[in-house]
Amino acid sequence: MAKVAFIGMGVMGYPMAGHLKVKGGHDVTVYNRTIAKAEAWAKQYDGKFAPTPAKAAEDADFVFTCVGNDDDLRSVTTGENGVFSSMKAGAVLIDNTTASAEVARELYAAAKEKGVEFIDAPVSGGQAGAENGVLTVMCGGHEAAFEKARPVIDAYARMVGLMGSAGAGQLTKMINQICIAGIVQGLAEGIHFGKQAGLDIEKVVDVISKGAAGSWQMENRHKTMNAGKYDFGFAVDWMRKDLGIVLEEARRNQAKLPLTALVDQFYGDVQAMGGNRWDTSSLLARLDRK
């Protein structure tokens, strides 16, 4: 059993912290900006909550963060009452936020100065993956710190991999989002085309999903997409945040991402339709609108 702090009780962090307590058997203290969520978690999981990130991280062996963006991450780490002000020497900070590679490298350097370890560890699998403890975790950082943290991360993960030095986890998550954007757009166009052609989408998918066109998105989202229901996971607002990070990094490293840039614009159209909180499969709604 380790002493663990978890900062950020959103739709991902809340169940992830729960797995650390129940499955991992760790002593977990949580912090959330809205204290009511931290209180609710502590009551549900018989855990503890703290009034500040620094207080949560006191004497912790492992500190997890899962917040909104780069600025939120800086606030709970290097900001006033951030975890770096109280983490003990040798402790490990594991950041599950989807953020920039730049802030990952910045926090890695800041951690080193404080005598603690930092691993950027963004996740894939969405809310369902977090609730079921089957997330994919892409890590960047020092190998020794990764090996130390991996058994703890395993409590909420199905796959955990060290991708390289600091920032490599975030860069891998960017590739993940690039691939998802293209797959979802292709699936949306395929379903839209089939409907326009008068085909039975269920029959079509039953056949093509067994061949080269098959994908997780097709298997898990074609029914809800065909029914015009888009309340099943990762929100458009979050995807646009992630694609913004991708495109900014691409400008920095001069990668050519024409399809990703186009799909990002398409998600902007979905937002304009009022679909900010629809899931990412709602690219079909853009095509089906009259």
Q: What is the pLDDT of residue 46?
A: 95
User: For position 189, which CATH number holds?
Assistant: 1.10.1040.10
Residue 84 sits in a domain of what CATH number?
A: 3.40.50.720
Mean pLDDT, range 261-277, rounded to an integer: 98
Percent helix, strand and coil across the chain, each rounded to 5?
A: 55, 15, 30
Which of 97, 132, 164 corresponds to the end of one domain? 164
| DSSP code at position 142 | -
According to the model, what pLDDT value does residue 232 have? 87
Q: What is the mean pLDDT of residues 74-91?
A: 97
140, 9: one domain: yes
pLDDT, mean over the chain: 97
- Taking residues 18-42, report their average pLDDT: 98
The residue from 173, 210, 241, 256 that is catalytic is 173
Residues 202-216: pLDDT tens digits?
Answer: 999 999 999 999 999
- Say whether pLDDT at 134 is over 90: yes
User: Residue 174 and residue 266: Cα distance in Å, rounded?
Assistant: 18
Would you say residue 105 has pLDDT above 90? yes
Residue 6 predicted with pLDDT over 90: yes
Query: What is the reported pLDDT for 233?
Result: 81
pLDDT tens sequence across 184-203: 999 999 999 999 999 999 99
Per-residue pLDDT at 86 exceeds 90: yes
Report the pLDDT value the prediction gives residue 19, as an integer from 0 to 100: 98
* Shared-domain flag, residues 212 and 234: yes
Q: Average of pLDDT values for 21-28?
A: 98
**Overall average pLDDT of the 100-129 stretch:** 96
Please tell me whether residues 157 and 257 are part of one structural domain.
no
pLDDT level of residue 94 (50, 70, 90 thresholds): very high
**Alpha-carbon Rg for the chain in angstroms:** 20
Same domain, 119 and 177: no
- In this prediction, residue 174 carries a pLDDT of 98
Find the mean pLDDT for residues 12-32.
Answer: 98
Q: What is the mean pLDDT of residues 234-263?
A: 97
Q: What are the CA-CA distances from residue 110 to residues 65, 83, 170, 217, 276 (Å)? A: 15, 11, 17, 38, 35
Q: Which letter does DSSP use for residue 7 in this model?
A: E
Tokens representing 43 are: 């009551």
Per-residue pLDDT at 290 exceeds 80: no
Percent of the chain with pLDDT over 90: 97
Helix axes 168-196, 101-114, angle to 10 degrees: 150
- 173 part of the active site: yes
Distance of alpha carbon 279 from alpha carbon 256, whole angstroms: 26
Q: Running DSSP on this structure, what letter comes out for residue 12?
A: T
Tell whether 86 and 39 lie within a shared domain: yes
| Mean pLDDT value across residues 76-104 | 97
Instruction: Please state whether beta strands 123-124 and 117-120 pair in parallel, antiparallel, or not at all (unpaired).
Output: unpaired
Range of the domain at 243: 171-284
- Of the pLDDT bands very low, low, confident and very high (cuts 50, 70, 90), residue 224 is very high
Distance CA 28, CA 7 (A): 11
The number of folded domains in the chain is: 2
Whether residue 97 lies inside any domain: the answer is yes
pLDDT(259) > 90? yes
Single out the residue in 164, 186, 221 at which a domain terminates.
164
What residues are paired with 48 via a beta bridge? Answer: 29
Whether 133 and 274 map to the same domain: the answer is: no
* Torsion (CA) 42, 169, 126, 157 in degrees, nearest 10: -60
Query: Is 216 a domain residue?
Result: yes
Take residue 107 and report the two structure tokens written for it. 């926090």
